[in-house]
């Protein structure tokens, strides 16, 4: 396994469904001794420049990577594609992200309407308060349902209302994987298949997903993430090699918990070529 620098290329802030502000996220990254951090909020780059500006005020070196996580639809699955080193000021890219934001808001309104019909009133306003400057996601609705005492946990919010086939589920209308790859690469970035080991699909479907992502021109795959079974990790290595994909790694950090932490347990096989192997100022061979 490759070890040295702590590189985390997948995390979220309050600009999407993370619970830490960019300032709090930066402080935690420094506390966890992270050396390279990509902010990859859902369908937005709104927090990237703020994070970069804050880092300029600190003494410890931390490389901030401009990132995003795009939501896509693929054969009934919600598949996420991370974009790394995107130009977060590119006007075309920003306009495209606004299309995603509009879709997300439309879905949020429909979810709220279904919850109202199910007898839960005022949930949109509470979810919007949780979202703050960010876009409303199902995670915000789950927190709102808990606060309104409609359910007793985030898990039960999805089981009773927000999960597929439940009372307030609304099928998303996201872009395709190929479109997401194009958007990211048009903005100068690299497209990475996010947390492939955590999708609820068989190995056969996972093989198909990675193959179609590679065929669409994808650049890399998250080859390791926390709590991934060794057998699944080995499969991802096999698929990355088979499809000539670069290896990325990220915690998918949203808030401090026993499940995720910035920069923790992200090493991957030295058989793979890191996605950052040719990035300037980043050591090409090291990750902790």
Q: What is the pLDDT of residue 280?
A: 82
Residue 221 lies in a domain: yes
Residue 41 token pair:
């909020």
21 located within any domain? yes
Q: Which strand (E) or helix (H) includes residue 38? A: strand 36-39
Residue 119 has pLDDT above 60, yes or no: yes
Residue 36 has pLDDT above 90, yes or no: yes
pLDDT band at 225 (very low <50, low <70, confident <90, very high): confident
Confidence grade of residue 35 (pLDDT, cut at 50, 70, 90)? very high
- 54 domain residue, yes or no: yes
Q: How does residue 1 score in pLDDT terms, banded at 50, 70 and 90? A: very low
* pLDDT of 283: 53
pLDDT of residue 284 exceeding 60, the answer is no
In a domain, 117, yes or no: no
Report the CATH number that the domain containing residue 58 is assigned in CATH: 3.20.20.140
Q: How much is the pLDDT for 206?
A: 97
* Domain that includes residue 92, residue range: 7-96+177-249
pTM, two decimal places:
0.91
Q: How far is the C-alpha of 231 from the C-alpha of 161, rounded, in Å?
A: 33
Between 202 and 227, where is the model more confident?
202
Q: Which residue has the tokens 């903005």?
A: 187
The total domain count for the chain is 1
Q: Is 24 among the domain residues?
A: yes
73 within domain boundaries? yes
Q: Please, what is the average pLDDT of the chain?
A: 93
Any domain includes 44:
yes
In a domain, residue 149? The reply is: no
């Amino acid at each position: 396994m490759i070890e040295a620098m702590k590189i985390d290329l997948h995390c979220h802030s309050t600009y999407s469904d993370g619970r830490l502000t960019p300032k709090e996220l930066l402080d935690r990254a420094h506390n966890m001794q992270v050396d390279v951090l990509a902010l990859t909020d859902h369908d937005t780059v709104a927090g990237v420049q703020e994070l970069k500006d804050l880092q300029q005020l600190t003494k410890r070196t931390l490389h901030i990577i401009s990132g995003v996580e795009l939501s896509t639809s693929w054969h009934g699955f919600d598949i996420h594609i991370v974009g790394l080193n995107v130009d977060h000021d590119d006007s075309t890219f920003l306009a495209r992200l606004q299309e995603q934001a509009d879709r997300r808001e439309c879905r949020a309104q429909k979810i709220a309407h279904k919850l109202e019909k199910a007898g839960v009133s005022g949930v949109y306003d509470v979810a919007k308060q949780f979202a703050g400057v960010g876009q409303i996601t199902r995670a915000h609705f789950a927190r709102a349902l808990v606060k309104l005492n409609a359910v007793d946990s985030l898990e039960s919010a999805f089981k009773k209302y927000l999960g597929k086939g439940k009372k307030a589920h609304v099928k998303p209308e996201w872009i395709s994987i190929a479109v997401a790859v194009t958007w990211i690469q048009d903005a100068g970035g690299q497209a990475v298949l996010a947390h492939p080991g955590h999708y609820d699909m068989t190995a056969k479907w996972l093989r198909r997903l990675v193959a179609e992502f590679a065929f669409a021109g994808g650049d890399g795959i998250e080859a390791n993430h926390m709590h991934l079974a060794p057998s699944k990790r080995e499969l991802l290595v096999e698929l990355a090699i088979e499809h000539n994909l670069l290896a990325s790694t990220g915690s998918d950090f949203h808030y401090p918990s026993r499940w995720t932490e910035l920069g923790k347990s992200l090493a991957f096989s030295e058989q793979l070529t890191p996605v950052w192997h040719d990035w300037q100022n980043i050591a090409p061979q090291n990750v902790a």
